[in-house]
Amino acid sequence: MIRYRDFADLVNRMSASNPEKEALLVYQGAGGVRAFSWAEFAALVQDRADDLAGHEDACEAILVDGSLESVVEVFAAVKAGLQVVLVDPLIPNEVMEPLLHSVDASRVWARGANRQIELEKSLKPGAVPAYGAHGVLFFTSGTTSLSKAVVLTDESLMASAYNGASLMPLAQEDTLLCMLPLSHVFGFVCGLLWGLACGASVALGRGARYYVDDLVLFEPTAVALVPKLLEFLVAREALNENLKLVLVGAADCKDSLLDTIRQRGIRASLGYGLTETSSGLALSCGDDFHAMTVCPDDTVTIAEDGEILVSAPTCIMQGYYRDAEKTALTIRDGILHTGDRGFFDDYGLLHVQGRLKDVITLSSGTKVYVPEYEEAIREALGEQDIAVILNQGQLMLVCGSLACEFSESEIMKSLERAMSKHPPSSRIAKIVCIGHALPRTAAGDVERWKIQEELKHGNC
């Protein structure tokens, strides 16, 4: 497995050693697929980098939509020495504008000139970025707080790709289908860089409308997915016959779902990582989906309270953008405090148990582990769109729109058996229906902070 220093090193070495090898596969209309060789990709990147180098802007926000043009733009902007911010194009302008201000963006790339012009009207011309060359920023999609801009580099991202490929290499004959948003670090590293670093071909998917069609069109041998997307594809029996490997990350996945694809002869692996570590820290390589091997460049230890601590000099973030206080709380003496709970088994394999913040401590001192508590509620109600939060010292059950047809008393009655297992102080005290589906991250996790905001402003 070759270790590439940064994006330029990857492109230069691959285009020199294997120029005719297919790097990217792109849909070209009428059911056709166009292959771009490493030589062609390198030329596109160089041409665009030359153009960008003639501009005075120092920070470019790229609304990275997964297209060939957007991928070229990322590599070219880094090559031109810009600070680069990868942004989800599905975010509406009114939400995106303050995000772009927060990272000193002075330029926008978007497919569609109108949107680019509209967003650039609100930017600060001549803004001086805090980092610059090699800086690649991703916004977190946390469940407990507003998005934070995490400063990575193309070096740390390539190191992360090397880590994953060392444990789970792809062959040059493989095709990795990129189905996940490239604005999320898991999608960028495991949907794109993993394949490119291994010398495999990467097929650029066309987005949510074409998930099923793209599996037929590109006939991938490997794919990286979040659990919700895997569940969708399995339900529609959409996984293609050529598929040999599915890497699942960004959220916990049910064993039954992974067993289903394994029974079809497809290798299934769970990955664990954070935006702050440039994606992957550990992968399951054996029969136990939840027993994970730590990646070569990373050192993981477990604190007394069960928190997973990470030393990863090649992959760890530079910090949260212009937020030294939050950075110092997360990285202490060079050690990243993940906020996740875990343990090592007798074989030295890492098991991740969830977020430390998933434990609610009540005024009585009773601790409630939220994932297990919510699962019992889902089973009792036959309803998935629920969340449990702490409100004014008591546990509140928040229901999405599907539960609005029932009264609070009816829901409480349905919960009697499940709640009887808990002492009175740790039972649901109040039920609120917010009138719409619960807000979720791209990985499908409930964004509890948004629910708290709605409650705070009386919108529920």
- Cα-based distances in Å from 436 to 33, 141, 229, 401: 40, 20, 21, 4
421: exposed, middle or buried (Cβ count in 10 Å: 0-12, 13-18, 19+): exposed
Structure-token pair, residue 217 = 């069109």
Report the range out of 116-120, 422-426, 440-444, 445-449 with the highest average pLDDT.
Answer: 116-120
- Bridge partners (DSSP) listed for residue 432: 398
428-433 and 83-87 strand pairing: unpaired
Locate tokens 């507003």: which residue?
A: 146
User: pLDDT tens digits, residue range 109-149?
Assistant: 998 889 999 999 888 777 788 888 899 999 986 544 457 89
> Per-residue confidence at 27, pLDDT binned at 50, 70, 90?
very high
CA pair distance 284, 262, nearest whole angstrom: 13
Residue 324: count of CB within 10 angstroms of its CB: 9
Least-confidence region, from 176-185, 216-225, 240-249, 402-411: 402-411
Nearest to 203 by CA among 228, 186, 183, 224: 224
Question: Which residue stretches of 276-407 are H helix?
Answer: 324-330, 370-381
Better-scored residue on pLDDT, 306 or 162: 162
Topology of domain 7-353, CATH:
Rossmann fold (3.40.50)
CA pair distance 178, 426, nearest whole angstrom: 44
User: pLDDT tens digits, residue range 229-288?
Assistant: 999 999 999 999 999 999 998 777 888 889 999 999 999 999 999 999 999 899 999 989
**Matching CATH number, 362-456, of 1.20.1740.10, 2.60.40.10, 3.60.130.10, 3.30.300.30:** 3.30.300.30
**pTM exceeds 0.85 for this model:** no
Share of the chain above pLDDT 70, in %: 95
CB 383 within 8 A of CB 403: yes
Widest distance between CA atoms in the chain: 70
Domain range annotation of the chain:
7-353, 362-456
So what's the pLDDT on residue 443?
61
Nearest to 196 by CA among 27, 60, 45, 32: 45
So what's the pLDDT on residue 154?
98
CA 119 to chain CA centroid, Å, is: 24
Better-scored residue on pLDDT, 18 or 423: 18
Nearest to 450 by CA among 392, 394, 400, 393: 400
CA 154 to chain CA centroid, Å, is: 17
